[in-house]
Structure 1
Amino acid sequence: MSADAELVVSAMAINVTIPETLRWTDTRRGQTFRLDTLNVRMLPSGHLAAKAYGRPVDGGRGAYVSFAVPDRPELAALIDAAADRAGTMWAAHHGLQ
């Protein structure tokens, strides 16, 4: 790629395991889900957006469903720390293997 060509990065996202002590449950259509993963995206503005994902508490083959992340300081801190860590990891990449 030439130096003057515009490089368009259309998505930057990371998946983060929610520590056990910060996990929570939520309900959708009468089914309770345990939220255990965050998907954090960097928006074009540089701000972050996050969704939580989980599986049904009762088990089974239920879908992996997304939920809004509650407005809790400890979750905001986790998201910020994860984004910082991901940035460090990206910056230190070793190229394709």
Structure 2
Amino acid sequence: MPADDAPLELNALAVNVAIPDHLRWNDSRRREEFTLTTITVRLLPDGHLAAKAYGRPKNGGRGGYTSFRVSDSPEIADLINAAATRAADLWAGHQGIEL
């Protein structure tokens, strides 16, 4: 806690999780197809989760890493929840910074 006992303001609580091959899907934007390979999961101030999927062009190339809505499937919801729980466990067990 800071010396003045003011609560810390955290700007981002997010983790990235790889989408297993069997759960990956494709989506398109501007007539280009993307394969979604990762999900960024954020913890919102109210305790709920928000998530965005990210991918690269399916046909390769130097296209940017582009965000998409998360697939509406129970398996993806399970992956997001499991990632958040695993991140919470890891954070809870941190051993401090070594200077």
Name the TM-score class by shorter chain: over 0.9
Aligned length: 97
TM-score (norm: length of structure 1): 0.95
Paired amino acid for 2:47: G
CA displacement at 1:2 relative to structure 2: 2.6
- Consecutive unaligned residues of structure 1, counting only runs of 5 or more, are none
Structure 2 SS opposite 1:32: strand
3-state DSSP of counterpart to 1:87: helix
Deviation at 1:92, TM superposition (A): 0.6
1:72 aligns with 2:73: yes
Q: Tell whether 2:13 aligns with 1:18.
A: no
In the alignment, the residues of structure 2 paired with residue 18 and residue 3 of structure 1 have an alpha-carbon distance, to the nearest angstrom, of 42
Q: In the aligned structure 1, how far is the partner of 2:36 from the partner of 2:75?
A: 15
Please, what TM-score do these two structures have when normalized by structure 2?
0.93
Percent of residue pairs bearing the same amino acid type? 58
C-alpha distance in 2 between matches for 1:86 and 1:22:
20
Shift of 1:3: 6.8
Deviations 1:25-76 (A, max 9, x none): 0010010000000000011110000000000011010010000002100000
- How many angstroms does 1:9 deviate by? 1.2
RMSD: 1.0
AA aligned opposite 2:63: G
Residues in 2 aligned to 1:20 and 1:3: alpha-carbon distance in whole angstroms = 48
